[in-house]
Structure 1
Amino acid sequence: MAEKERHTICMVSDFFYPNVGGVESHIYQLSQCLIEQGHKVVVVTHAYGNRTGIRYLTNYLKVYYLPVATFYNGVALPTCITTLPLFRDIFVRESITIVHAHSAFSVLGQEAIMHSQTMGLQTVFTDHSLFGFADASSIITNKLLELSLANVNHVICVSNTSKENTVLRAGLQPSIVSVIPNAVDSSQFVPNPSARALGRITVVVMSRLVYRKGMNLLAAIIPAICTDHDNVDFLIGGDGPKRILLEEVREKHQLHGRVKLLGPVDHADVPNVLVQGDIFLNTSLTEAFCIAIVEAASCGLLVVSTRVGGVPEVLPDDMIRLAEPRVKSMVDGLHSAIELINLGKRPDPDDYHRRVAAMYQWKDIAARTETVYDIVTRDRELTFVDRLQRYCRGRPVGGIIYSCIVIIDFLLLCLLTFLRPTENIDLVPTFGNRLQDTTNKPTH
């Protein structure tokens, strides 16, 4: 049997620990599984407060926290080319051969794709979100994504709905787009019925408290449900600009004893919150996958969710109540779930846990991602002229502007190579990883 190919991978995103969310968890868990399989993985993100420089996480996962400025929603300030010296040093020092960027929102991810292609490295992009096509922000984001992915080797989407959305937004060939879902660490998300409040039904919400997550919808649902059901409480974890709206609703309807706002919750503490609930409520207005509902189901909760994006693909019908993203429809969906529990027909949490554990395993996700890496390593390297032609194809204005940026990026790389030749950059010895032999260095 042929020996399995080993890769040296750089995961890049603005979103990583200590920030908490689906993208952050995905990168961490995927990296851990790839390391277990013998690959070398490093993560690059921006600094978070005092967390700057190089840190090591479990299994010697090395994380570079770059000292770059951030602006809206913790995303790095776009500079296009000034991050090239940092990325070049990391890619060369770590002998990176594949750069894997995550999230269309991530500026660092988009810049890493451009720099790595200039250096002749293979690129993979995972899209974790859904975007529209009509509003101004979506149009701008889609145009930028279309340009940054014009020469990407492969794209991964977390659901079939997400794949359709990304193919249309970025003008991609479906043949280079794979669907690989999120997964859950079922050993952490385990049912604990003893943690539930006796005689009460607790509805748990774990989400960033922002408009996109349907917090306006939630603010209307809470008083309606509390009025109709005296035995129902809400436990809400997360933080964001819409928290003040929920606080106003709680104050207006005098629900201080029934609506508890936990604020930010560390990911390690999420299972301890979920097991206190009977029902998990997801009010998102757009979702590519929604890992939160998988984690909730793994803890034995019945899920009520908006019927948006890739959510209908995630769980079997008996584990989830889907409703339209409207107040009446969501209230009806919650009524149905509450009545089920009131009638003593509560689902078996252990059964839920076993089924979710079988459906979503990180080792399976890592194995499918390895297949993508094997494919891209066999792709031929595009010439610089080929890259420029792809940028300009069908994009007479944006393509020319982006090509000019790429040309400047290439000239800067030539200058950096002259001032500090690649052979003068020390390679990082492999440490604590099964991958003992470093692969070939980048050519620049």
Structure 2
Amino acid sequence: MDGQSRKHRILMVSDFFFPNFGGVESHIYYLSQCLLKLGHKVVVMTHAYGKRSGVRYVTGGLKVYYVPWRPFLMQNTLPTLFMTFPIIRTILIREKISVVHGHQAFSTMCHEALMHARTMGYKVVFTDHSLYGFADVGSIHMNKVLQFTLADIDQAICVSHTSKENTVLRSGISPEKVFMVPNAVDSAMFTPSPDRLSCDEIIIVVISRLVYRKGADLLVEVIPEVCRLFPKVRFIVGGDGPKRVRLEEMREKFSLQDRVEMLGAVPHAQVRSVLISGHIFLNSSLTEAFCIAILEAASCGLLTVSTRVGGVPEVLPDGMIVLAEPDPEDMVRAIRQAIDILPGIDPQIMHRRMKKLYSWDDVAKRTEIVYDRAVHSSNTNLLDRLPRYLTCGAWAGKLFCLVMIINYLVWCLLEFLQPAEGIEEVPDIGPLHIHLDSADDQCEPQGT
């Protein structure tokens, strides 16, 4: 490569992207922006969100295909296997893509795009952002789907070492193919308050989706006990979800209206202003591969109290986080410890440490290496790839082989009906600097 990194043409695919908010959405957005700055071409493909359909350009000239599919369940499109092939094939050819990068094991569009891309001979990379179990019905089915997708993958990425171990166990992929590339934080956006807050009243901030997986039920038990033990503690809870009703009921039951402020959904532009109004950030997740919200809070100078789950212990060094088991009693103990050490925390020092530890530019450069490895992996034809699927199980392996054979025949039919030469390629243009003023078109991803 003549001592220089190869320039790639990347298609990011996931059901989770702006205007939906979350860790996966933030990862795709910030990674794409940094890859664009490094000279790569990046295009994002996701499903339509409300009126947002068709091709859009967002900040930095990032091109997004909002294909005309509607979410079916939890922001995921309905699995169709082969129905998405025509539009994915058209995008791959039009944009002259060289690497297809799918995100999130729960994304239907991600799995289908990787399957079609492999059938067409493209290099594919997959990033797993979540942890899953092995015993419940949902995890068993999800793990089998992941096994199918990763049976014929070029490279994979996980956001923590714990996530890597989990993905290798669930999918059976070779550990040599899996890289650990963490999330990061936009330290220029998440800065501490210039004025140090008084500790006369200690404010604990929670910003999270109020769902079971994020430990909303734990909050229902922890908050009243902390308020009883520490009269000078107040809570600010940002976020929405099905468990919000339980928190509202808890606040009414214990008469904590003046101690627990419920903000509802917090727009990304206001996340920092909420964080810097507090002293401690509380994360009660029951499962977490990484948790970008912890990085954002630490970058704003907040001391973090978090459950000891998944990859969370890897995120922050000692002195910046207090860990607890996902148990109400132990979480109250951790909050007590955090309150005791809070006077020794300097938000500005914490912010400077976070700036050195986590950078999206570093994430992009590490991802570049994964793309280089993928591009230089050997090409295989359908007959060489089918034995890989047979290893996925006695009956599942045969079913996966049948799916790939049918997918190959669909590709041949598409090539006959609409030859690749007849699809107009998009001309390359330089980086765009587009400023979107309307509320509908502003690209403001949220990492909570």
Instruction: Tell me which interval the TM-score lies in, with the shorter structure as reference length.
Output: over 0.9
Q: 3-state DSSP class of the match of 1:317?
A: coil
Matched with 2:366 is 368
Q: Give the residue type in structure 1 aligned to 2:141.
A: I
Matched with 1:178 is 179
| CA positional deviation for 1:369 | 0.3
Q: Give the residue type in structure 1 aligned to 2:22.
A: G
Correspondent of 2:404 among 403, 406, 412: 406
Matched with 2:426 is 428
- Paired with 2:315 and 2:392, the residues of 1 have a C-alpha distance of 36
| Contact persistence 1:193–1:275 (CA under 8 A) | no
| Contact persistence 1:39–1:433 (CA under 8 A) | no
Unaligned runs of 5+ in 2: 433-448
| Contact persistence 2:158–2:182 (CA under 8 A) | yes
| Contact persistence 1:195–1:276 (CA under 8 A) | no
- Runs of 4+ residues deviating >6 angstroms: none
- Paired with 1:288 and 1:382, the residues of 2 have a C-alpha distance of 32
| CA positional deviation for 1:432 | 2.8
Q: Give the residue type in structure 2 aligned to 1:49.
A: G
| Contact persistence 1:155–1:177 (CA under 8 A) | yes
Q: 3-state DSSP class of the match of 1:143?
A: helix
**Coordinate RMSD, CA, aligned:** 1.3
Q: 3-state DSSP class of the match of 2:266?
A: coil
Q: Give the residue type in structure 2 aligned to 1:182.
A: N
| CA positional deviation for 1:33 | 0.3
| CA positional deviation for 1:193 | 5.3
| Contact persistence 2:44–2:64 (CA under 8 A) | yes
| CA positional deviation for 1:4 | 2.8
Matched with 1:253 is 254
Correspondent of 2:375 among 370, 377, 390: 377
- Paired with 1:389 and 1:102, the residues of 2 have a C-alpha distance of 25
Q: Which moved more, 1:297-306 or 1:394-403?
A: 394-403
| CA positional deviation for 1:292 | 0.8
Q: 3-state DSSP class of the match of 2:71?
A: coil
| CA positional deviation for 1:197 | 7.1
Q: Which moved more, 1:299-308 or 1:244-253?
A: 244-253
Q: Which moved more, 1:162-171 or 1:65-74?
A: 65-74
Question: Structure 1's 327 and 160: CA in aligned 2 closer, same or farther, altered over 3 A?
Answer: same
Q: 3-state DSSP class of the match of 1:172?
A: coil
Matched with 2:444 is none
Matched with 1:389 is 387
Matched with 1:22 is 23
Q: 3-state DSSP class of the match of 1:289?
A: coil
Q: Deviations over 1:363-422 (max 9, x none)?
A: 111000001111111111111012211111251211111222222211111111111111
Q: Give the residue type in structure 1 aligned to 2:133.
A: G
| Contact persistence 1:15–1:106 (CA under 8 A) | yes
Q: Give the residue type in structure 2 aligned to 1:98.
A: V
Matched with 2:443 is none
Residue 244 of structure 1 pairs with residue 245 of structure 2: yes
Q: Give the residue type in structure 2 aligned to 1:402.
A: F
Unaligned runs of 5+ in 1: 435-444
| CA positional deviation for 1:69 | 2.9
Aligned residues: 431
| CA positional deviation for 1:337 | 1.2
- Paired with 1:140 and 1:60, the residues of 2 have a C-alpha distance of 38
Matched with 1:440 is none
Q: Deviations over 1:143-166 (max 9, x none)?
A: 110011100000101111111110
- Paired with 1:125 and 1:212, the residues of 2 have a C-alpha distance of 23
| Contact persistence 2:324–2:331 (CA under 8 A) | yes
Map 1:241-320 → 2, pairs under 5 A: 241-320=242-321
Q: 3-state DSSP class of the match of 1:71?
A: strand
Q: Percent identity?
A: 55
Q: Give the residue type in structure 2 aligned to 1:418.
A: F
| CA positional deviation for 1:225 | 0.7
| CA positional deviation for 1:431 | 2.2
- Structure 1 length as normaliser, TM-score? 0.95
| CA positional deviation for 1:198 | 7.0
Q: Deviations over 1:176-214 (max 9, x none)?
A: 001010001100010005485773211111111110000
